[in-house]
Structure 1
Amino acid sequence: MYAILDIETTGGQFNEEGITEIAVYKFDGHEIVDQFISLVNPEKPIQPFVVKLTGINNAMLVGAPKFYEVAKRIIEITQDCVVVAHNAQFDYRILRTEFNRLGYNFERHHLCTVELAKKLIPEQPSYSLGKLVRALGIPMADRHRASGDALATVKLFKMLLEKDLEKEIVKTFIKTEIEKGLAPKLLDIISNLPSTTGIYYVHKENGEIIYIGRNKNIKKRVNQHFTGSSRKDKKIQAEVFSVTYEETGSELIALLKESEEVKLNKPKYNRVLRKNIFPVSLYQSITKEGFIALKLQRTDARKQEVASFSSQAEAQSALFKITDKYVLCQKINHLENVKTHCFPFEMNECNGACIGQEDPEDYNARVEEFLQNNEYQNQNIIIIEKGRNMHERSAVLIENGVLKGYAFYDLNYQVTNTEVLKNILIAIPNNRDSKNTALAYIKKSKQAKIIHF
């Protein structure tokens, strides 16, 4: 659990500032579960420049509670939480100073979204809260007021959790859970999981991820691990301390995240991924007669493929369709091993390139047409699916055949403009596996909406 907060102060000399407003949002990593927002009477005047910046003046605070009157509520809402703030060093110091004045030692583990953003979203022109959230497409209201800034920090932190592929934030959080005592029972873990589509992470006591999985129903799948009798399930049951999760709504995003995060985190109970989950690829070459041949071969990472496939049958089916659509030759494309003409020539479905009756220039023009319009490589598409809740949609962007990443957006948000979409995009490493996973998915999915641009 996280306590995401923002504090406004009177300004003034170091350790002499007073709190004028505080906002705390209790956040479980997925949604806000509690909140506390209050003006505070600092019992000292506000610096003029602060009045201009925040709009909070001395008159507004005359009837506000003093810090000792809200201290108990702050302790309660931050209890067993990691405190999160933008420039946490400042907010945490102010809180500790106020509690010290009351003779209470306020101590919490804390995280700073400035430092996290510098690591997870590098090369931003500015890491001030206002400029950063604007650059990331995060809506913000009531700038320089505690509630507005804290709420923007919640949304920023949620994005940082998604961008943290190595799960360092969650691992750090789980380590703090150890201090609470015994690990929760398996039934307690399951009761806190959703019955929705997404990724789940099984952690040991030290926060280490020992298994990553995905499912349309996270709760049901984890329950199967906890009740299963396989060797892997027994090991998971013996070592599990906590299970965290990320809802995706979209099966495609779950597929992409699982593939990349297993490679990155190397959990010991995940099967080692095959070096290539698309073992058959289509390559082009030139025959001695000068024709461009399309040939299926075992995938070779050293070569640039035209397309990749998850099985030999899928690959052959695709090449037959390509050959038929562009009136190419089955013999030249190695779909027939014959000494004379190919079979389609007898059906007037081949122009005779296989027996020298068609000029290579004319034949190659049709191959080049396929290569330029290659649906397996040169896609410019946005894949739209459902989001994590009924008010949200998800989008996966492929531009010039390169997988750029994914985003979640409000139903009222327009994503047909790729530049707008890029502002809220969470990057996924573009490689053969991820791109081909996305392209294979849209061929099979009946729910995905495809926008071409």
Structure 2
Amino acid sequence: MNFVSIDFETANEKRHSPCAVGIVVANEKEIVDEYYSLINPETYFNPFNIRVHGIVEDDVLDAMTFSEIWPELKTYLSGNLVVAHNASFDMSVIRQSLDRDKITYPELDYLCTANIAKRVWPHMENHRLNTLASYHGFPLNHHNALEDARVAAKVLQRAIEDFQADSIETFLNQCHITKGRIFERGYYPPKVKRTQKKKPTTLYF
């Protein structure tokens, strides 16, 4: 089953200021397609954000705006399973950018690889993307949108492998994780269900 991993970088603290996007199409075993583009956010660049990703205003002067690039992004996202690390951020970039441009939401399911990592590798000190990349030996130029999307895809693939699941659906059932969803009039986030620990059996003699 193919899924789509996505990552945005933003020009400032506003979620509707994407300045770069990376997309990776993958299945349980391999990466099958990649896409990267700068985006003209049509707004200012915060020095803090520049220090994070290194993108400046001059880099995006000739880039497409979000509304111009959206038809291309929609072909990757609409009707598919989308994953992102800390997905609440990337999904809010999509929603708030669409709201700003008065564009209808696509229909898509989504998962958060940060939450998946917490369930699969609970012993780790933290579950940041760079920590996971280092732990699993994945190369990463952090805060490059394409590289972040690629590592998020690999995190999901490794989680499926570690659970010895034959599909994403089987893996989600084993982990007790439900998908989030974006739809025309709203959204709801993915959920990680708590698993109940069995009470110890009391023996009477």
Match of 1:85 in 2: 84
- After the TM superposition, which parts of structure 1 deviate over 6 Å for at least 4 consecutive aligned residues? none
Structure 1 stretch displaced more, 160-169 or 100-109: 160-169
- Quote how far apart the aligned CAs of 1:100 are: 2.4
* Structure label with greater radius of gyration: 1
Q: Deviation at 1:80?
A: 2.9
The aligned residue for residue 97 of structure 1 is: 96
In structure 2, do the counterparts of structure 1 residues 70 and 144 end up closer, same or farther at CA, with 3 Å as the change threshold?
Answer: same
Gaps of 5+ in 1: 177-453
What residue in structure 2 maps to residue 109 of structure 1?
109
Alignment of 1:56 onto 2:55: yes
Q: TM-score, normalised by structure 2?
A: 0.77
Per-residue deviation, 1:166: 5.9
What's the secondary structure of 1:22's corresponding residue? strand
Quote the offset at 1:132 in angstroms.
Answer: 1.8
The code of the aligned residue for 1:41 comes to N
Distance 1:168 1:2 in 2: 11
> In the superposition, relative to structure 1, how do residues 167 and 87 fare at CA in structure 2: closer, same or farther (>3 Å)?
farther
**2:108 match: secondary structure:** coil
The corresponding residue for 2:134 is 134
Q: How does 1:26-425 map to 2 (within 5 A)?
A: 26-102=25-101, 103-140=103-140, 142-165=141-164, 169-171=168-170, 172=172
Q: How much has 1:168 moved relative to structure 2?
A: 8.3
Task: Tell me the matched-pair count.
Answer: 172
Letter in 2 for 1:5: I
In 1: Cα distance, 2:77 partner to 2:34 partner: 10
The one-letter amino acid paired with 2:9 is: E
State the SS of the aligned residue for 1:3: strand
Alignment match, 1:4: 5
**Deviation per CA, 1:389-429, whole angstroms, max 9, x where unpaired?**
xxxxxxxxxxxxxxxxxxxxxxxxxxxxxxxxxxxxxxxxx
Residue identity over aligned pairs, in percent, reads 27
2:185 maps to which residue? none
Q: Partners in 1 of 2:69 and 2:168 — Cα distance?
A: 29
> Given residue 52 of structure 2, which amino acid in structure 1 is its aligned partner?
L
TM-score (norm 1): 0.36
Q: Deviations over 1:289-331 (max 9, x none)?
A: xxxxxxxxxxxxxxxxxxxxxxxxxxxxxxxxxxxxxxxxxxx
Show CA shifts across 1:167-191 (max 9, x none).
6842459x99xxxxxxxxxxxxxxx
* In structure 1, C-alpha distance between the alignment counterparts of 2:165 and 2:59, rounded to whole Å: 45
Letter in 2 for 1:77: Y
Name the CA shift for 1:143/1:90 in 2 (closer, same or farther; >3 Å).
same
Q: 3-state DSSP class of the match of 1:132? A: helix
Look up the SS of the partner of 1:109 in the other structure: strand
Residue aligned with 2:7, SS: strand
CA contact (8 A) 1:26 1:78 kept: no
For residue 123 of structure 1, give the secondary structure of its aligned residue in structure 2.
coil
Measured against aligned partners, the alpha-carbon deviations of 1:98-139 in whole angstroms (never above 9, x if no partner) come to 122332123311100110010011110111101121022222
Q: Which letter maps to 1:99?
A: L
The 1-side partners of 2:25 and 2:111 are apart by 14
Q: Contact 1:84–1:112 (CA<8 Å) still a contact in 2?
A: yes
In 1, the alpha carbon distance for the partners of 2:107 and 2:83 equals 13
Q: Which residue of 1 aligns with 2:194?
A: none
**Distance in 2 between the 1:69 and 1:49 partners?**
26
CA RMSD of aligned residues (A): 2.1
**What amino acid maps onto 1:104 in structure 2?**
T
